[in-house]
């Protein structure tokens, strides 16, 4: 039981850090432009157009690798892997993401 209590404390601490950064960890609405299945279906045309899209979903796993990270996101219609680069997020943003976001 102690391990579960410790895990709960850790997750509450991470939740507090997210809220402190003024991000809403549980937004009522998002600016999502595509469901994951739509993004996968239209991937080639989206990539050719270099159009920015917004996905929303649950982060199922995060794997950090030095200056990059992979995450699996699920939205109920499908699952996709995202790639984050430290040089795009900045050192502070990258560390914040890896230290605060959890499955």
Going from N- to C-terminal start, the domains of the chain cover 27-100
Average pLDDT over residues 71-88: 95
Residue 74, pLDDT > 90, answer yes
Mean per-residue pLDDT for 66-83? 95
pLDDT at residue 10 above 90? no
pLDDT band at 42 (very low <50, low <70, confident <90, very high): very high
The token duo for 90 is: 């900045």
- The residue-averaged pLDDT of 15-21 equals 85
C-alpha span between 67 and 77 (Å, rounded): 30
Within a 10 A sphere around the Cβ of 98, how many other Cβ atoms?
A: 15
Q: What is the structure's pLDDT at 102?
A: 65
Task: Give the model confidence (pLDDT) of 53-71 as tens digits.
Answer: 999 998 998 898 889 999 9
CATH number assigned to the domain covering 27-100: 2.40.50.140
Q: Please report the pLDDT score of residue 1 as a whole number.
A: 66
User: Which tops the pLDDT comparison, 70 or 4?
Assistant: 70
Q: How far is CA 14 from its chain centroid?
A: 14
Q: Is 91 exposed, middle or buried (0-12, 13-18, 19+ CB in 10 A)?
A: exposed
On the question of pLDDT at 73 being above 90, the answer is: yes
């Amino acid at each position: 039981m102690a391990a579960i209590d410790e895990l709960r404390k850790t997750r509450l601490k991470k939740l507090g850090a997210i809220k402190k950064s003024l991000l809403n960890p549980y937004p009522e609405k998002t600016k999502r432009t595509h469901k994951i299945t739509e993004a996968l279906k239209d991937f080639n045309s989206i990539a050719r157009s270099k159009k920015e899209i917004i996905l929303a979903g649950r982060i199922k796993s995060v794997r950090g690798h030095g200056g990059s990270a992979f995450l699996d996101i699920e939205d109920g219609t499908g699952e996709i892997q995202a790639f984050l680069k430290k040089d795009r997020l900045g050192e502070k943003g990258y560390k914040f993401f890896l230290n605060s976001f959890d499955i």
